[in-house]
């Protein structure tokens, strides 16, 4: 291994709610192991967001956390959410407001979600192995527009409600360019997913993507309606390379695509803009298993690999983390969400057991 130049980075860790702190702890441990192995210096700070922040401060994103985020080189995030908000949709202050606000405040307009299947997990998916094997998709989900941020209205008597689905051309263009650039480094194909046969915002989306595509003649660009894309992801996931889509559609399709990888516990994501990036597993807070020590930390650990690769330009270090995950799975270790009927009991591990194996292979 060639001697690496020492790098000093400041990282904000936001565990959040439910299993968030449990899995994020192992993301941090992996970063510490990487720093030790390669001679880097990672300085960690902690911050509150979500239900935990509401309980402590009354605010889902306290100013202290936002200030630390702005001063950090990267953010490692867990998950937010609590059952009390599901049971009472009328609550005005909610955990997800913190996540939406930090995305807006930091300009995190592009959400990258790699869907890559480790061969050892072919049997963990409910989809036939012969359909899955070789699937490797990179989603680009627009993150700061669409119905999540459009004007919301509700009748005083509760008889109707509306959410404005709005996009500006600059919002579509900036994420489209990132997606085309990524496609150039992969298999040079990009599929833009919309609903242009029904939605005016999707017609603007498609027209903008077509205009940007002209600047990338080496990338084959196709378009697909979202309902068809949802079906095609399950029918033949190997047809896709880079998928570019809007906020709402991306939210739904990437959860569906988690079944290609066998579990949501395997999927990492990076939310990036022009400054500090936020790296997180795509799974939620999973309050039903919080505190039981059985949550899969691999999505958080793979998010760390994205942080190293995209945020810090540390390709060798990122590859070492992914390799450690691959070696751990090849050795047969499984958390409950990725186990199958052939997994022997002595290879079943919890959150800490899986994290320890990753550190062992990494070190």
Nearest to 31 by CA among 357, 339, 301, 354: 301
Q: How many CA atoms lie within 13 A of 171 on its CB side?
A: 22
Q: Nearest 5 degrees, angle CA 310-CA 316-CA 319?
A: 75
274 is annotated as an active-site residue: no
241 is annotated as an active-site residue: no
Of 227, 236, 274, 340, which one is the catalytic site residue? 227
Who contacts 326 (Cβ-Cβ below 8 Å, separation ≥6)?
118, 120
215 is annotated as an active-site residue: no
Nearest to 14 by CA among 240, 281, 308, 246: 281
154 is annotated as an active-site residue: no
Beta strands in the chain (DSSP E): 8-16, 41-46, 74-79, 110-116, 136-142, 152-154, 161-163, 189-194, 220-225, 242-245, 268-272, 277-281
What is d(CA 75, CA 63) in angstroms, rounded to the nearest whole number?
15
Of 38, 195, 279, 337, which one is the catalytic site residue? 195
Tokens 């270790």, residue?
Answer: 333
Nearest to 303 by CA among 11, 3, 2: 11
Asked if residues 107 and 59 have their Cβ atoms less than 8 Å apart, the reply is no
170 is annotated as an active-site residue: no
Q: Which 3 state secondary structure label does DSSP give 348?
A: strand
Q: Nearest 5 degrees, angle CA 69-CA 72-CA 77?
A: 60
Of 136, 251, 326, 352, which one is the catalytic site residue? 251
Neighbours of 277 (CB within 10 A): 22
Of 38, 109, 148, 333, which one is the catalytic site residue? 148
Asked if residues 184 and 218 have their Cβ atoms less than 8 Å apart, the reply is yes
Of 64, 136, 163, 255, which one is the catalytic site residue? 255
Distances (CA, A) of 203 to 80, 209, 210: 33, 10, 11
292 phi, psi to nearest 5 deg: -95, -10
Element (H, E) at 63: helix 63-70
* Catalytic site positions: 148, 195, 227, 251, 255
């Amino acid at each position: 291994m060639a001697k690496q130049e020492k790098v000093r980075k400041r990282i904000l860790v936001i565990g959040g709610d439910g299993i968030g702190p449990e899995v994020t702890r192992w993301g941090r441990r992996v970063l510490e192991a990487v720093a030790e192995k390669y001679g880097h210096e990672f300085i960690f700070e902690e911050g509150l967001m979500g239900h935990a922040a509401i309980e402590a401060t009354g605010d889902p994103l306290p100013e202290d956390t936002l200030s630390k985020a702005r001063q950090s080189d990267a953010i490692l995030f867990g998950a937010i959410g609590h059952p009390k908000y599901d049971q009472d949709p009328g609550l005005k202050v909610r955990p997800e407001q913190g996540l939406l606000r930090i995305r807006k405040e930091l300009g995190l307009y592009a959400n990258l979600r790699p869907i890559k299947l480790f061969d050892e997990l072919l049997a963990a998916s409910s989809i036939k192995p012969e359909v899955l094997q070789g699937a490797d998709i990179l989603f680009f989900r627009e993150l700061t527009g669409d119905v999540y941020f459009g004007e919301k209205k509700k009748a005083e008597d509760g008889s109707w409600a509306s959410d404005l689905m709005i996009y500006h051309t600059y919002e579509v263009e900036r994420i489209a360019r990132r997606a085309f650039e990524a496609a150039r480094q992969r298999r040079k194909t990009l599929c833009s997913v919309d609903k242009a046969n029904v939605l005016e915002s999707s017609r603007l989306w498609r027209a903008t993507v077509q205009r940007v595509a002209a600047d990338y003649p080496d990338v084959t660009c196709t378009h697909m309606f979202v309902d068809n894309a949802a079906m095609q992801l399950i029918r033949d996931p190997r047809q896709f390379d880079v998928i570019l889509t809007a906020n709402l559609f991306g939210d739904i399709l990437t959860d569906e695509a988690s079944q290609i990888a066998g579990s949501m516990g395997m999927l990492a994501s990076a939310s990036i803009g022009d400054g500090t990036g936020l790296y997180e597993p795509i799974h939620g807070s999973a309050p039903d298993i919080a505190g039981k020590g059985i949550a899969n930390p691999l999505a958080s650990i793979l998010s760390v690999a994205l942080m190293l690769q995209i945020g810090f330009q540390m390709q060798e270090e990122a590859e070492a983390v992914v390799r450690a995950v691959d070696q751990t799975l090849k050795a047969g270790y499984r958390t409950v969400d990725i186990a199958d009927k052939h997994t022997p009991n002595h290879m079943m591990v919890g959150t800490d057991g899986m994290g320890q194996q990753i550190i062992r292979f990494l070190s």
